[in-house]
């Protein structure tokens, strides 16, 4: 599962890197949006200031028509010489001229003021300023205390912001001269009411929402193409209360760009500026308000994105990357999971059908190799507890080809005369089965033997014992033999196999006891016998075309010794173990038999 694990790690790293980059992009975008909003608000605030100045210049230029009006000049000249305005007969004509001009040019209020600051005539076009027209009709009503009027009477063109009855007005003044470079004989003052219509015109020019405020009254306007809700861009009373303690607003006349309020998907920022002049002490000012898209987390980008943003995404490339990554992961899973599992399933199926005796761990990899070994261990333990003898196994059919430096270990023999499939801990030996009492010499033991086994024992008794090839003297008869003829002891009856267990089809090499074991009374040379077994095993492997170059006698002998110790421990009365070489399913195999 190496490739699959690396693939999972790679996908996890890519996912983690993507999330990391997404959060980095979100932080960069949020910081950039905040800085951009601040720059835009600063620029918009400057634009409002420039608009106010430019608009004032335009309105002051429009007052030129009144300064050259003959009725206005005559009335102002007469008022300059009269002690009281009541003596000025042209006041009604001045009022008519001012009204006609105000209605034509869109001024809220227009005043004609003599050189002494007294109001000669007034025209008002709005209901909110009707009281000013009535007050100006009084003979002693004068406006010489305003700085704007004083500058105009001295020949200057000025603009300012006035607050009357909590209403804000943008005011311009222009001197009236009878001759060029003469002293002014009076001044014309025109005022525009700062209402919603006035602020809407400013917002349309600037491109952001604008609000003018004075003494709790607010006039507001938004751009005509704005999709924002007007209530989101309004300046509230709570916002104005915060300006009282704002150091920048009180000292510098302008606040820094700051967040006004947070909406679900937007951030509303604003810059507050204080209006200079007569309205400074009244706290009059204006605010520029802008609404910026806001994503509180990377997941919010889906909600704030527009259709144009979604259409610009390269969906084809994203789909190809996703499909390619999925297919590559499936290939890795097929190679490292599905195919090994299918191979292991087939091997277990063949084992269950009896087509094989054991699983071959060498043919599996990874976890399946350990599972196959554990299954073989479990089968041996179950067979040992139930008394069923499993068929013999050769070295390489289970362990696979021997390595360059094989580390052969003892065969764990579960029961009987078979070699185990691999090295493992030996199960607890069952209690020894008592052997039947030996029969009388010359008689055929029949208890517990089948007819075929009794015939085999009878034939063995009838055949004379063959003397060893190198024996110089005849072998003395065994003790207990009759004088009339030497009879050899009956051989041990062959073991019976459990019912239902079939012997594997095989060809045994060297069937029968080793030559050293045929000599009656001769000492058994185990080392020579094991070398003979080794030579026969190697010869049979070479005959069958199996590799045998890496198999050494020292490793082979250690394996035989461990299996001998295991059989002697399991079988009571066992003195030695006889090993035989045979062919099983086209491979060389060993068979171990305890000898009592």
Q: What is the pLDDT of residues 464-504, one digit of tens each?
A: 444 444 434 444 444 443 343 434 444 444 444 343 333 34
Name 286's bridge partners: 212, 273
pLDDT, one tens digit per residue, over 352-377 is: 888 887 888 878 877 888 898 888 88
pLDDT, one tens digit per residue, over 120-166 is: 888 988 877 766 666 666 666 788 889 999 999 999 999 999 998 88
Give residue 63's pLDDT.
Answer: 94
Compute the distance between CA of residue 410 and CA of residue 345 in angstroms, rounded to an integer.
29
**Is 159 within 8 Å of 146 (Cβ atoms)?**
no
Compute the distance between CA of residue 189 and CA of residue 174 in angstroms, rounded to an integer.
7
Q: What are phi and psi of 478, to 5 degrees?
A: -70, 155
Six token digits for residue 312: 């610009």
pLDDT, one tens digit per residue, over 520-541 is: 445 778 889 988 999 999 999 8
Compute the distance between CA of residue 154 and CA of residue 175 in angstroms, rounded to an integer.
7
Whether 35 shows a pLDDT value over 50: the answer reads yes
Question: 264 or 534, which is more confident?
Answer: 534
Residues of the chain above pLDDT 70, percent: 74
pLDDT, one tens digit per residue, over 84-99 is: 777 677 888 888 999 9
Cα angle value 219/220/225 (rounded, 5°): 155
Residues 6+ apart with CB under 8 A from 422: 361, 373, 376, 398, 399, 411, 412
Whether 406 shows a pLDDT value over 60: the answer reads no
Q: Average the pLDDT over each of 189-203, 316-330, 382-396 and give the range with the smallest value.
A: 382-396
Closest CA to 220 of 229, 232, 205, 233: 233
Three-class DSSP category at 398:
helix
pLDDT, one tens digit per residue, over 226-255 is: 776 777 788 888 888 888 889 999 888 999
Fill in the DSSP letter of residue 313. S
Give residue 2's pLDDT.
Answer: 65
pTM > 0.75 = no
Confidence of residue 209 (pLDDT cuts 50, 70, 90): very high
Q: Where are the alpha helices (DSSP H) in 334-466?
A: 339-353, 367-386, 395-399, 451-462
Q: Is the dihedral of CA 116, 119, 121, 124 positive or negative?
A: positive
**Residue tagged 């009282």 (tokens):** 244
Compute the distance between CA of residue 128 and CA of residue 51 in angstroms, rounded to an integer.
25
Whether 331 shows a pLDDT value over 90: the answer reads no
Other CB atoms within a 10 A radius of the CB of residue 466 amount to: 9
Within 20-157, strands assigned E span 109-114, 119-124
Give residue 471's pLDDT.
Answer: 39
């Amino acid at each position: 599962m190496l490739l699959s694990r690396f693939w999972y790690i790679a996908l996890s790293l890519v996912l983690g890197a993507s999330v990391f980059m997404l959060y980095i992009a979100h932080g960069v975008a949020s910081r950039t949006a905040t800085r951009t909003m601040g720059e835009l608000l600063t620029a918009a605030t400057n634009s409002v200031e420039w608009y106010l100045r430019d608009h004032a210049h335009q309105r002051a230029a429009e007052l030129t028509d009144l300064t050259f009006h003959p009725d206005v000049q005559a009335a102002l000249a007469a008022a300059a010489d009269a002690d009281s305005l009541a003596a000025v007969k042209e006041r009604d004509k001045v009022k008519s001229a001012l009204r006609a001009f105000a209605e034509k040019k869109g001024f809220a209020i227009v005043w004609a003021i003599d050189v002494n600051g007294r109001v000669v005539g007034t025209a008002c076009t709005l209901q909110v300023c009707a009281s000013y027209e009535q007050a100006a009709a009084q003979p002693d009503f004068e406006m010489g205390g305003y700085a704007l009027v004083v500058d105009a009477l001295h020949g200057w063109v000025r603009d300012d912001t006035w607050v009357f009855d909590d209403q804000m007005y943008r005011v311009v003044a222009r001197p009236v001269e009878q001759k060029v470079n003469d002293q002014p004989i009076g001044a014309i003052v025109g005022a525009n009411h700062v209402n919603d219509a006035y602020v809407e015109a400013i917002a349309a020019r600037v491109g952001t929402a604008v609000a003018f405020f004075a003494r709790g009254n607010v006039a507001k306007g938004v751009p005509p193409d704005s999709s924002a809700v007007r209530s989101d861009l309004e300046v509230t009373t709570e916002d104005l209360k915060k300006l009282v303690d704002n150091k920048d607003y009180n000292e510098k006349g302008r606040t820094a760009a700051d967040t006004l309020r947070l909406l679900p998907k937007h951030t509303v920022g604003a810059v507050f500026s204080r209006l200079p002049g007569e309205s400074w002490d009244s706290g009059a000012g204006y605010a520029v308000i802008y609404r910026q898209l806001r994503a509180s987390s990377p997941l919010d980008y889906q909600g704030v994105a527009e259709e144009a943003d979604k259409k610009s995404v390269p969906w084809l490339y994203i789909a190809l990357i996703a499909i390619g990554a999925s297919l590559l992961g499936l290939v890795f899973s097929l190679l490292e999971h599905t195919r090994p599992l299918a191979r292991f399933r087939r091997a277990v199926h063949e084992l269950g059908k009896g087509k094989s005796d054991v699983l071959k761990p060498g043919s599996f990899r990874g976890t399946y190799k350990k599972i196959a070994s554990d299954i073989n261990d479990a089968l041996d333990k179950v067979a040992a507890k139930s008394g069923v003898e499993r068929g013999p196994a050769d070295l390489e059919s289970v362990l696979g080809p021997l390595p360059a430096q094989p580390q052969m270990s003892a065969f764990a023999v579960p029961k009987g005369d078979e070699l185990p499939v691999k090295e493992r801990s030996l199960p607890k030996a069952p209690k020894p089965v008592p052997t039947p009492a030996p029969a009388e010499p010359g008689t055929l033991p029949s208890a517990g033997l089948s007819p075929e086994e009794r015939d085999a024992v009878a034939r063995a008794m009838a055949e004379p014992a063959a003397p060893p090839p190198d024996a110089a003297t005849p072998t003395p008869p065994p003790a207990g033999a009759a004088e009339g003829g030497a009879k050899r002891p009956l051989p041990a009856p062959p073991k019976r196999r459990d019912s239902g267990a079939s012997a594997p089809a095989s060809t045994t090499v060297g069937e029968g006891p080793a030559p050293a074991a045929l000599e009656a009374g001769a000492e058994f040379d185990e080392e020579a016998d094991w070398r003979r077994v080794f030579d026969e095993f190697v010869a049979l492997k070479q005959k069958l075309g199996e590799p045998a170059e890496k198999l050494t006698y020292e490793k082979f002998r250690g394996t035989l010794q461990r299996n001998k110790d295991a059989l002697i421990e399991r079988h009571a009365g066992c003195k030695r173990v006889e090993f035989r070489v045979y062919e099983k399913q086209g491979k060389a195999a060993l068979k171990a038999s305890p000898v009592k």
